[in-house]
């Protein structure tokens, strides 16, 4: 019998409580070679458990300017303080390494150019979780290459917009009592990092109802409920879906939702749409293989696991399933061979 790691736990990384300021910085061109050099430097640092490269990945002024532009309004003074400190304190690299645990990976999927901007796309994988980070790169005055923004596939939008929307919510006229409750967000994030999801959920429930409708807070909710059982996880996904029905990147979540509903053909369609959006990631053959196993089509599942092993030979989970399927096939005889 093969036990399938069906449900992925989507990880939300880097939801900082940033303040911002408006700043206009002229873009400087980044070459393909410079983009790849940065990408490989990130990969090496992660392998070496060194968070320093990712801790400094963002150009603080450019990112703050993106948040201000995404907000489209002037924030209250108390939200404008500490933009640089916010980036430093969040320690993006530390959060990534913490999310990876002992067996996760943070790997470059591709480098590409869009609208004359260089991008590097990474896959974050850990314990069955998957997310994608698409960095848009710029060059600083000192010739160093940094990220101006980050498109997070789980949220389906730039990180700058997610933060701007969250700040816009707390910038509205809410009561002092509700504002104080927002101070528990860092506590929630710490509890999630410590994998104390039950307690994190209790703190989340105390947040103001209006605040919990924001995308950033909804994703926190999904992250928590992913670890509180299938029923709560599906409820959280459906709540998110009801609030953001036209989100162009729901495919990542819907793979899980359809799988939990045992609607495997629709889960497979979500995998294919996600893969098309990314423009091909060999990891998605792992998802296809799992879904075909759930549909009891071992021949197709074996084909996808073989393809996965060809493209990702170091991916142990895929190799283990491939070897077990081959053994089952060989034990059952030639009539089960493709």
Residue 105 has pLDDT above 90, yes or no: yes
Residue 78 pLDDT grade (very low, low, confident, very high; cuts 50, 70, 90):
low
The Cα-based distances of 325 to 299, 300, 312, 321 in angstroms read: 9, 11, 17, 6
DSSP conformational letter for 295: T
Query: Is-same-fold flag (1-172; 267-336)?
Result: no
Q: Is 138 helix (H, G, I), strand (E, B) or coil?
A: strand
129-139: strand order across its sheet: 105-114, 117-126, 129-139, 145-152, 157-158
Inter-CA distances, 95 with 88, 170, 262, Å? 12, 24, 33
User: What's the mean pLDDT in 264-287?
Assistant: 94
| Closest CA relative to residue 204, chosen from 175, 172, 226 | 226
- Is the pLDDT at 148 greater than 80? The verdict is yes
| 1-5, 123-127, 172-176: least confident range | 1-5
- Does pLDDT of 85 surpass 70? no
Q: pLDDT tens digit string along 313-337?
A: 999 999 999 999 998 888 876 655 5
Dihedral Cα 106, 109, 113, 117, nearest 10 deg: -10
Q: Which residues contact 180 (CB under 8 A, 6 or more apart)?
A: none
DSSP letter, residue 151: E
Residue 190 contacts residue 197 (beta carbons within 8 Å): no
Specify the pTM.
0.84
CB 118 within 8 A of CB 137: yes
For tokens 């910085």, what's the residue? 25
Domain locations along the chain? 1-172, 267-336
Query: What confidence tens digit (pLDDT) does each residue in 186-225 have?
Result: 788 888 878 899 999 999 998 888 788 888 889 889 989 9
pLDDT tops 60 at residue 25: no
SS3 327: helix
Supply 179's token pair. Answer: 């504002």
Look at 39-48, 97-106, 303-312 and tell me which has the smallest mean pLDDT.
97-106
CATH class for the region spanning 267-336: mainly alpha
1-172 classified as CATH 3.10.450:
yes
Residue 320, CA distances (Å) to 3, 79, 296, 325, 338 in order: 11, 49, 18, 9, 20
Q: Are 92 and 58 in contact (CB under 8 A)?
A: yes
- Dihedrals φ, ψ of 114, to 5°? -140, 130
């Amino acid at each position: 019998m093969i036990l399938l790691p069906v449900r992925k736990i989507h990880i939300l990384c880097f939801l900082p409580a940033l303040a911002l300021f408006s700043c206009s910085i002229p873009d400087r061109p980044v070459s393909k070679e410079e983009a790849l050099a940065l990408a490989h430097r990130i990969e090496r640092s992660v392998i070496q458990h060194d968070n320093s490269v990712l801790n400094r990945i963002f150009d603080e002024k450019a990112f703050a300017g993106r948040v201000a532009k995404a907000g489209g309004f002037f924030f209250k003074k108390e939200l404008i303080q500490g933009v640089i400190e916010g980036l430093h304190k969040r320690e993006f690299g530390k959060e990534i390494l913490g999310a990876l645990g002992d067996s996760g990976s943070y790997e470059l999927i591709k480098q590409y150019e869009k609208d004359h901007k260089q991008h590097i796309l990474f896959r974050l994988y850990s314990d069955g979780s998957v997310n994608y980070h698409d960095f848009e790169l710029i060059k600083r005055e000192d010739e160093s290459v940094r990220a101006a923004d980050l498109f997070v596939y789980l949220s389906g939008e730039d990180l700058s917009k997610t933060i701007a929307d969250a700040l816009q919510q707390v910038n509205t006229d809410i009561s002092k009592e509700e504002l104080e409750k927002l101070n528990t967000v860092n506590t929630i994030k710490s509890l999630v990092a410590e994998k104390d999801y039950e307690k994190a959920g209790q703190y989340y429930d105390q947040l103001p109802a209006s605040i919990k409708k924001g995308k950033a807070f909804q994703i926190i909710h999904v992250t928590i409920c992913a670890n509180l059982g299938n029923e709560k996880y599906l409820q959280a996904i459906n709540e998110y879906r009801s609030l953001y029905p036209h989100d162009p990147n729901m495919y990542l979540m819907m793979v899980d939702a359809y799988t939990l509903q045992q609607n495997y053909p629709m889960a497979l369609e979500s995998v294919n749409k996600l893969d098309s959006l990314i423009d091909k990631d060999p990891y998605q053959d792992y998802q296809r293989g799992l879904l075909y196993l759930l549909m009891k089509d071992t021949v197709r599942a074996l084909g996808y696991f073989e393809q996965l092993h060809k493209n990702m030979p170091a991916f142990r989970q895929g190799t283990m399933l491939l070897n077990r399927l081959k053994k089952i096939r060989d034990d059952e005889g030639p009539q089960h061979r493709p």
